[in-house]
Chain A
């Protein structure tokens, strides 16, 4: 009977070494979103030389912590190292592919995310990789493909995530029905009446200021012309004033065109962020 206690103690201790304890502590820090300290603890766990499976998990957690704290280059390095590691299991490599895809998506390099998510998609029965590919499509301005991917991911997902994915598909469909301001129309409107293009795109104050500046310089040009035509008979300042007016009118046209493009980009960007927030909420 006296021999049983030391044996039981030994059996209990053999399952958890110092590396396990450190990684467990780091997991707690990750849950608290204390990413920098979590990275330190995972690196400490790596230093303590855990078994290969635990080593890959620690490296993936470091990559995840770097991504969530918006340090994308080290995130790519750690996830990439797992992907290249010969000792990483198929499940680890699957996680590394997803992690690299999510990192490139967060880094706004959607085209780089696609090959990794494509590799992860066939083995992913939860539909998360499909949804992440939908995010990449949305970032690359393929809304129809993104909608189709979200619908496909919703069919695979559990009930909690299905609502978010269905919402994403519906939001994209609603956005596709919206016709944003046309840059060509905005430019044409500003050509006829300075500032009208900006107002058409929803930037009314910009339009008022553009109208004020161009109208003031145009009136000054007329005044100079009248004075120089009638009094000095030399149109030097008229040409200067007309050039300045032309420059301000050109700025008004460029601004109208760019403002219309900005409104369309901003609407798409707001949609992309809202969809990403809902879809990535179900990150495994």
Chain B
């Protein structure tokens, strides 16, 4: 009983860190990838983090809800290498809510049809399945 009370009293204080164990702010010199001598200095290493607005956050929350609660009860049948929910997530995250939604409508309702197999290159995904690659529409490979 005494042990239980001691544990309860100790709980709000949280786990005890020694000074050496305490989390430290990341050291930029350590976390940044080291430039190798054969790579030029101007190589772009880090993309700026996108700003999350309310509309973007709501849309991304809905996409996550779909992906975790609905998509798991269905089979994977998207013919594209980047699935529709991932396409929507990337489009909204990178281009904002309005442009992202228009790109998603274009992909999901206009471009996904019987002719798509002849229009997009086929690539092998990490799970070994051959799927269509329309990454250009998200900016991949776009000059």
User: Residue on B with the closest CB to A258?
Assistant: B137
Q: Is the CB of B38 within 8 A of A247?
A: no
User: Residue on B with the closest CB to A115?
Assistant: B40
Q: Is the CB of A203 within 8 A of B115?
A: yes
> How distant is the Cα of A83 from the Cα of B36 in the complex, in angstroms?
13
Count of interface residues, chain A, beta-carbon cutoff 8 Å: 33
Write out the residue numbers on chain B whose beta carbons fall within 8 Å of the beta carbon of A108. 141
Q: Is the CB of A254 within 8 A of B143?
A: no
Q: Cβ of B52 < 8 Å from any Cβ of A?
A: no
Q: Is the CB of A83 within 8 A of B106?
A: no
Stretch at the interface among B4-12, B59-67, B77-85, B96-104: B96-104
Q: Pick the contact of A269 from B101, B106, B115, B141 — CB < 8 Å?
A: B141
Q: Is the CB of B106 within 8 A of A205?
A: no
Q: Pick the contact of A247 from B105, B119, B137 — CB < 8 Å?
A: B105
Residue among B40, B102, B142 with max Cβ neighbours from chain A (10 Å): B102
Q: Cβ of B49 < 8 Å from any Cβ of A?
A: no
Interface residues of B in 67-88 (CB under 8 A from A): none
A residues lining the B interface (CB < 8 Å):
76-77, 79-80, 83-84, 100, 108, 112, 115, 141, 198, 203-206, 209-210, 213, 247-248, 250-252, 254-255, 258-259, 261-262, 265-266, 269
Q: Pick the contact of B102 from A100, A112, A209, A247 — CB < 8 Å?
A: A247
Q: Is the CB of B113 within 8 A of A206?
A: yes
Q: Is the CB of A205 within 8 A of B143?
A: no
Q: How many CB-defined contacts (below 8 Å) exist between A and B?
A: 78
Q: Is the CB of B141 within 8 A of A255?
A: no
Taking the closest CB of chain A, its distance from the CB of B117, in whole angstroms, is: 11
Q: Is the CB of B113 within 8 A of A209?
A: yes
Write out the residue numbers on chain B whose beta carbons fall within 8 Å of the beta carbon of A258. 103, 106, 136-137
Q: Is the CB of B102 within 8 A of A250?
A: yes
Write out the residue numbers on chain B whose beta carbons fall within 8 Å of the beta carbon of A79. 38
Q: Pick the contact of A251 from B40, B105, B115 — CB < 8 Å?
A: B105
User: Residue on A with the closest CB to B142?
Assistant: A265
The 22 listed contacts between A and B (C-beta, < 8 Å) are A76-B38, A79-B38, A84-B37, A100-B38, A112-B39, A204-B115, A206-B110, A206-B111, A206-B113, A209-B109, A209-B110, A247-B102, A251-B102, A251-B103, A251-B109, A254-B99, A254-B103, A258-B137, A261-B142, A262-B137, A265-B143, A266-B136
Q: Cβ of B114 < 8 Å from any Cβ of A?
A: yes
User: Residue on B with the closest CB to A214?
Assistant: B110
> How distant is the Cα of A269 from the Cα of B120 in the complex, in angstroms?
12
Q: Is the CB of A255 within 8 A of B99?
A: no
Write out the residue numbers on chain A whose beta carbons fall within 8 Å of the beta carbon of B40. 112, 115
> How distant is the Cα of A80 from the Cα of B141 in the complex, in angstroms?
26
Q: Is the CB of A213 within 8 A of B141?
A: no
> How distant is the Cα of A108 from the Cα of B111 in the complex, in angstroms?
26
Interface residues of B in 40-60 (CB under 8 A from A): 40, 43
Q: Pick the contact of A198 from B38, B43, B110 — CB < 8 Å?
A: B110
Q: Is the CB of A252 within 8 A of B110?
A: yes
> How distant is the Cα of A266 from the Cα of B119 in the complex, in angstroms?
9
